[in-house]
Each structure stands twice: as C-alpha cells, then as structure tokens.
C-alpha cells in the first residue's frame, strides 16, 4: 500500500479547494521517502508575502542572512523577475544581459547604447554600459559549442557581468596543451574570460538505496516538477520506454521522452494509482513548498534545491546558458548555481520563491564541503514536450 493512501483524503480536499488541480513538483506526494516527514500541502502565502516563514529560515541558514534581509531579498527578487521582462523589451537591440544585485536589491541591465538608458531605468532596473550585446555574446558561445572540448574544460557560459563568454577550466589541467589550444580557439571566436574550478562536473544519479523517490533499474534519481500526466526529471536518469518504480518499488509509470547529452531532461507519465500535487518536498528542513508558476529568476537571485539524497539546500544563480562538458558529452543551455548536491539528487527540483526553475543535472563537490550544481531550465522542458506545469 502506498504511503499516500493515508494522506489522500486530506490532500485531495486541500487541492480541490486551494489549487483545483494536483501535481507534485518533482513528483507525486507518494514519492516522499518513508523516513522523511510528510507535511501535506503548505498553507498559501499571505497576499503580498514573498515566501513562507520556513523558506525565509532556509535562506537565513544557507545564505547567512538575517530574517529581515531574507524577507527583503525574496520580495526584491520577485519584483526583479517582472522587471527583467520589461527591461529587456525596453533595451531592444542594445540589451547586453541582466542580473540581480543583492547589495542594492535591484535588477542591473547592461546596455551597449546609452540612449536606451532612460527607457530601461523607467522599468525599475539599474543600468551599466557594456561593449557587447547579448546577441553577440550568444554568437560567440555558439562558436564554442561547435568545438570539441577537452576534459580539462568543464564548461562555458555567457556572462553579462563580465561582458564576455566565461570558460571554466579545472585548475589541475589549466596548463594542459589541449586546454590551451581550446582557449586560443575560443578567444578567436569572441570576447572570452577564463575562471578556474576545483573539480569537473558529473551527473548525479546513484545506485539503488532504500527509501528514495524513484528508480530506473538500479539507478536512483529525484523527481523534478509535476506536469499534467506525470513529472519532469533529468534525461540521464532514463530512456523512453523505461519503467519507473517508486520508493516502495511499486510501478509508477514510464519515460515518455528523454534527451542526454546535448540536453538533460525527460518526462515520465504516471498511473497505477499514483497521483500528483503542485508541491516541492522540504524534507523537514522547510515545509513542503507550493509551486505557483515558472517565472525565471535572474542571475544573482537566491534559489533552493530539493533532492532525495541531500534533501533541501539553497544558494544563488551564478550563470545561465552554460554549456557543461560532462564525460558523457556536452549539455547546453544549463543554469549554474552554488547550491550543493550529491549522487541521487539528479532530476530534483530547483525553485526560487514559489516559481519552478529547473531540474538538477549534475555538479561537483558535496553538501559537506560545498560545490556547484547545474540545472536544466523547466520552461525549456515544458516547451519541448508540450507539457503543462501543475501549479497551485
């Protein structure tokens, strides 16, 4: 008998009254592990409130903020998500990218044409001058994507703060001949900066461990977000036609679509009595979080991750549109964060406030010593498969 049988009546009533639909972000209510406390649906945030008290507490712990700072930051980030859309439109062809600045609690927009400054600042954003447009930087990154990268190069992304494409190399391999050759070719393609990392990224699937959300064969991964008919997760966790079992090893559903490498996303249809609600599990660290949409958070914004191994952790968005060079092949259009993760967290939820952001792909480090983790943006996955996110 599935764990959610006991919760079904209470959750169904809450869903019908508060959300009108069910869908577990990153999975179903049934996907919680037996050892993890199940809180049901969290109460909706009060009108105008940026987040629940539990989320504020998580940001205080992981970002080392006071309660007042955490609340102010979440409110400012929610505003920045809206401002970013208007500012991009106002900047037009002069748009050089944007990011959230936690020191000023404002969105910063880079412009190549100062005549657009007044229009952009009217949206509520700050502006800075830059030499290259986002389109020019994207073209330079596309040129790098066409190159074959050595293992010593862990990835590259468009960096609006640097006004360049930032290439990340593993420190131990920075002087390798093939790394130097790649960097020379990269610089010929456009403006490039180089940064170092301690380790190369890896995907975060894991072997079978008892009490975890879902399995494909002997691989354990984590559920990302519920969609109508199933959930989205990481592509390296399974291939189309593969069956999925839940924490109790009962049949859940089947991988309907999957892409890895090049992309790292998939979706799984669910049935056999499994059901979904628009929730991301807080694993007892915070209350389970309602999902209300998928508005994209800007660079610099706070973000939290839920996964079956390391559970709930928070950090910030470091970069977008990054190409990550895994040993299995390059994966494109990823978002980089300084949130930690561990094997088994693959496919799990990244959420900013109450907005779904993406599914965990891979990273380096762990949640004892720290590290970096990448996710595949959820809106790309929804568009690729024609799915609709379950929201509260």
Contact 247, 316 (CB under 8 A): no
Q: Which residues contact 193 (CB under 8 A, 6 or more apart)?
A: 159, 162, 164, 165, 166, 167
222 included as an active-site residue: no
Per DSSP, the three-state class of 86 is helix
Task: Give Cβ neighbours of residue 199 (< 8 Å, ≥ 6 apart).
Answer: 170, 364, 365, 371
Q: Are 359 and 373 in contact (CB under 8 A)?
A: no
**In this structure, how many other beta carbons lie within 10 angstroms of the beta carbon of residue 103?**
6
User: Which among 154, 310, 346, 352 is annotated as catalytic?
Assistant: 346
Cα–Cα distance between 58 and 255 in angstroms, integer? 33
CA distance 271 to 100: 41
Say how far apart CA 115 and CA 113 lie, in whole Å: 5
Whether 311 is catalytic: no
Helix, strand, or coil (residue 243): strand
Catalytic residue among 236, 311, 313, 332: 236
End-to-end CA distance of the chain: 27
Instruction: Please give the Cα distance from 279 to 377 (Å, whole number).
Output: 17
Beta strands 302-307 and 349-352, pairing class: antiparallel
Q: What is the DSSP letter of 244?
A: E
Among 62, 159, 212, 264, the active-site one is: 264
**CA 12 vs CA 45, 70, 275, 288, 310: distances in Å:** 19, 32, 10, 16, 28
* Active-site residue, 264 included: yes
**Residues with active-site annotation:** 236, 264, 346
């Amino acid at each position: 008998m599935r764990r959610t049988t006991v919760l079904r009546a209470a959750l169904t009533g809450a869903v019908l009254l508060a959300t009108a639909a069910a869908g577990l972000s990153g999975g179903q209510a049934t996907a919680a592990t037996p050892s993890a406390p199940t809180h049901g649906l969290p109460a909706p945030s009060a009108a105008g409130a940026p987040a629940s008290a539990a989320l504020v507490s998580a940001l205080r712990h992981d970002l080392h903020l006071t309660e007042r700072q955490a609340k102010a930051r979440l409110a400012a980030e929610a505003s920045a998500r809206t401002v970013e859309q208007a500012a991009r439109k106002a900047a037009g062809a002069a748009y050089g990218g944007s990011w959230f600045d936690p020191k000023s609690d404002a969105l910063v927009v880079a412009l190549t044409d100062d005549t657009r400054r007044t229009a952009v600042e009217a949206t509520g954003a700050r502006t800075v001058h830059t030499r290259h447009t986002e389109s020019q930087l994207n073209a330079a990154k596309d040129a790098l994507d066409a190159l074959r990268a050595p293992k010593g190069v862990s990835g590259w992304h468009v960096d609006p703060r640097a006004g360049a494409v930032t290439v990340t190399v593993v420190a131990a391999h920075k002087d390798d001949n093939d790394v130097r050759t790649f960097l020379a070719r990269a610089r010929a393609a456009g403006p490039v900066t180089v940064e170092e990392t301690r380790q190369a990224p890896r995907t975060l699937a894991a072997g079978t461990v008892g009490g975890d959300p879902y399995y494909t064969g002997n691989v354990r991964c984590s559920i990302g977000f519920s969609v109508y008919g199933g959930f989205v997760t990481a592509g390296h966790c399974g291939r189309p036609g593969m069956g999925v079992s839940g924490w109790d090893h009962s049949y859940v559903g089947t991988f309907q679509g999957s892409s890895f490498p090049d992309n790292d996303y998939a979706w799984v249809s669910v049935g056999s009595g499994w059901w979904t609600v628009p929730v991301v599990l807080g694993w007892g660290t915070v209350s389970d979080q309602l999902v209300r949409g998928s508005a994209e958070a800007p660079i610099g914004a706070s973000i939290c991750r839920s996964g079956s191994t390391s559970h709930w952790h928070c950090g910030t968005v470091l970069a977008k549109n990054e190409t990550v060079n895994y040993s299995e092949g390059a994966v494109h259009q990823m978002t980089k964060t300084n949130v930690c993760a561990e094997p088994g967290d693959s496919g799990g939820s990244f959420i900013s406030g109450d907005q779904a952001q993406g599914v965990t792909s891979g990273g380096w480090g762990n949640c004892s010593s720290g590290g970096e983790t990448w996710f595949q943006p959820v809106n790309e996955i929804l568009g690729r498969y024609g799915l609709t996110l379950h929201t509260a």
